[in-house]
Amino acid sequence: MLSRDSLKLIQDSVRQILDPLGFDLIELKSMRSNNSTILRFLIDRTEGGITLGECSQLNNQIGQLFDEKNLISERYILEVFSPGLDRLLVDIKDFKRVLDKRIHIFLNEKQQDELELEGKLIKVDVRGIFIINDKESEQFVLFSKINKAKQVI
């Protein structure tokens, strides 16, 4: 299994490829299978939406990077995935990615007598988000009140 330092070096190196191309490394998972380490990269465009072809190209570029910099000395398998359209919105960057799109929010506690809200995301700040619901009413939701949220497809 790879050390935490090795994984950090891999993440930092891969981000140097992704950032100029407009991609974000959402998550890196490392797992063991038989005699190989599987490195699973979850990658998306900064503004959202990555194609299968782009995943394939990035897989090749990351493989070349590993070979050039000798980032991993053991047998490995690279997997590059899209997070999918229905992935949860977790951090501020996720919410900014879906600005001006409809989202569905599940709350920890009722807000205006509702445990679920839906509307167009119009603004994101460090404290929370602003949506406009179907009644054209603007609502502010603190991040701390959001149990989970996702884009409406």
Per-residue pLDDT at 13 exceeds 80? yes
Backbone φ and ψ for 137, nearest 5 degrees, come out as -100, 130
Q: Which CATH architecture group holds 92-151? A: Roll (2.30)
Residue span(s) of the chain under CATH 3.30.300.70 come to 4-81
Q: What is the pTM of this model?
A: 0.70
What pLDDT is recorded for position 3? 84
Per-residue pLDDT at 133 exceeds 90? no
Tokens of 91: 């951090």
Residue span(s) of the chain under CATH 2.30.30.100 come to 92-151
pLDDT digits (tens, 9 = 90+) for 48-85: 678 999 999 999 999 999 999 888 888 999 999 988 77
Q: Which CATH architecture group holds 4-81? A: 2-Layer Sandwich (3.30)
Do the beta carbons of residue 23 and residue 49 sit within 8 Å?
no
Q: What is the overall mean pLDDT for the chain? A: 91
What pLDDT is recorded for position 136? 86
